[in-house]
Structure 1
């Protein structure tokens, strides 16, 4: 069979398969979703954490140093997300995605972002400067969070596939993590309106979140809030 026929048959198989959709109460792993037609529906909060200015980093330093810097970010982010009961489901270069479920999913995701803000300033950047005294690049990032129902499927072919989240929440969270020039964290109004007091109000009584207005992604008008506050570990 030639490559064209192989691709045509594969596409026809995908388009003809009827979804076997199930409601999920836990964040699925790859093996929990059937490759051919499996789908899990999940009410969840999605967080994307994206290290900023990786292009400037890559252009200014040796590959071995760039790799170490990126790994410090992903290492810290993964530990914080897991500590806040986030389920890591994707790495993409210098970006990591976690899924949160349960009654406190929005507050847990926000708390993770606030802690990561603190770690960048108080742990990672000082460690990089201590390691290389001539290192002038300063790590910052963007965190995007949205909440809602998502459809989780498997994309790819047998032996080469991964989970893919479909829906507004994962899409908007990813877009908000790419916002630069404002706050380091951006969350939708859905997330903001479901934050508990600890994730919304600082220890001195100030609201940690600022209304950033609205933005448009595709056909979605998104009202969102931003914060660069930090939460010590």
Structure 2
């Protein structure tokens, strides 16, 4: 058993650096033959190739199962791959990958024929060979077995580069077809039904117009795989023209052998003629039904695909609506926070600098602050409280006694932090509001449980203004 060494690992590391540290040079391929591994050097260089890539593999059937004998399966795979390679080469392509029963064919443009046309001829040859030649031979010689296959094709630009190296006197080199084209063609092969060619829209758009007439039977389809949608065109039982012409010729020859009196066909009696015609009609009807069945399946598949798309569209709309609502909520929250910060700054500034404003100017600033406070759920009383009643009343008693008194009443009615006792007494005496203030004090004592500072201010007011003393009854109730 080989024992690995650090030197061997370092050699591998150096080979990796040789590739990754050198910039890759890319040239547009101008040839009309599919490049091979010998067309590129073992260097960081690549060829940009316009090509059609075809994949084909066995799709399985009711007669081919996992319980088949290994020898039978080996014979089937060998014959199938050999036939597929011949279909690709005879159509002007080259086989560049064989993995199990999956064959990859590559086609490039030349002066006379487009790559898309070559690939289609190869696909038609594949379906023709499998249905008309492979299955009859296989069925008669390999335990009655039959196979079915699917073909996928895409067209576009592919970056081609050489990989591998010479090791131990053996060549371990191959070509890598980098890009989405090969991958998409492979996925279309996976989704192709038995006896179907499933191509991308890009490939179909580049197909010569002569292959897209009404008689070509191409159908636009959308297929869903996991969460991915694949749009393209499908064609079922699309055989080579030479085979269709031969079958038509054989049928015409049978019709021409009818005698002029209608009594015989190639020596057959009238009963045999009728039986042959009916059998032929039944065979044609069966063929039509076989062709119609995939159409029904595709329509059903399309229906479910449309339903899935509709559900996804509904889900996307719901997500979009939810996102809009969240964005609105975030915008509102940000606006609310911005207004909170603005309100706090303006209220603090106005409270601290109140005496620097003229009366009317202060009222305007207070109105603006009340409007801003409304945006963050603050009432007029909340705004006055944030400006502090002791500052407001002290300012207002110098400019407008009525406003000063209203602020005093407001503070007492709402059991808020009261102005200074001397300012209250001065305003009440000047406006002669002793009776009114007594009523307000009594209401406060009935509705709230004032703190010690408030009760102390009430005592000073009662003493200075000679008011009836509601505190006696209030304090008696507290004792009881």
Report if TM-score (shorter chain) is over 0.5: yes
Q: TM-score if structure 1 supplies the norm length? A: 0.85
Of 83, 92, 95, 1:88 maps to: 95
* Alignment partner of 1:155 is 2:160: no
The structural deviation recorded for 1:216 is: 6.9
Distance 1:48 1:98 in 2: 6
Flag the 1:182–1:97 CA change in 2: closer, same or farther, 3 A: closer
- 1:125 aligned partner: 135
Partner of 1:164: 176
Partner of 2:71: 64
**Residue of structure 2 aligned with 1:9, choices 11, 14, 21:** 14
Per-residue CA deviations over 1:161-201 (Å, capped at 9, x if unaligned) read 20010112111111111115476211001111222244334
Q: Residue 313 of structure 2 corresponds to which residue in structure 1?
A: none
Structure 2 vs 1, CA of residues 167 and 217 (structure 1 numbering), >3 Å: closer, same or farther?
farther
Residue 88 to residue 182, structure 1, CA distance change in 2 (3 Å): closer
Unmatched runs of 5 consecutive residues or more in structure 2: 243-480
Name the SS for the 2:79 alignment partner: helix
Give the TM-score normalised by the residue count of structure 2.
0.44
CA shift for structure 1 position 222 = 4.0
- Greater share of residues in strand: 1
In 1, distance between residues paired with 2:12 and 2:138?
47
The offset of 1:117, in angstroms, is: 0.9
1:64 shift after superposition: 2.2
Inter-partner Cα distance in structure 2 for 1:81 and 1:157: 28
What is the aligned counterpart of 2:236 among 214, 228, 232?
A: 228
CA distance in 1, matches of 2:200, 2:92: 20
Counterparts of 2:232 and 2:194, CA distance in 1: 12
Residue 191 of structure 2 corresponds to which residue in structure 1? 179
Instruction: Specify the alignment match of 2:217 in structure 1.
Output: 208
- On the 8 A contact 2:123/2:197 being kept in 1, the answer is yes
Within the alignment, does 1:44 sit opposite 2:56 as a pair? no
Instruction: Identify the residue that residue 34 of structure 1 maps to in structure 2.
Output: 41
Contact 1:81/1:98, CA 8 A, preserved across alignment: yes
Pair 47,224 (structure 1): closer, same or farther in 2 beyond 3 Å: same
> Does the aligned pair in 2 maintain the 1:107–1:194 contact within 8 Å?
no
Change (3 A) 1:207 1:99: same
**Bigger fraction of residues in helix:** 2
Matched-pair contact (CA < 8 Å) for 1:172–1:217: no
Structure 1's 111 and 198: CA in aligned 2 closer, same or farther, altered over 3 A?
farther
- C-alpha distance 177-96 of structure 1, shift in aligned 2 (>3 A): same
- The higher radius of gyration belongs to 2
Distance 1:221 1:10 in 2: 40
Q: Note the alpha carbon deviations across 1:89-120, whole angstroms, 9 max, x for none.
A: 11111111111111521122112112211211
Cα distance in 2 between the residues matched to 1:17 and 1:228: 47
Q: Deviations over 1:62-106 (max 9, x none)?
A: 222212111221122111211211122111111111111115211
Identify the structure with bigger relative contact order (alpha carbons < 8 Å, sequence gap 6+). 1
Deviation at 1:214, TM superposition (A): 5.3
Q: How many aligned residue pairs are there?
A: 226
Where in structure 1 are there 5+ consecutive unaligned residues? none
Q: CA RMSD in A?
A: 2.5
Counterpart secondary structure, 2:216: coil
| Residues in 2 aligned to 1:122 and 1:34: alpha-carbon distance in whole angstroms | 43
Match of 1:109 among 119, 122, 129: 119
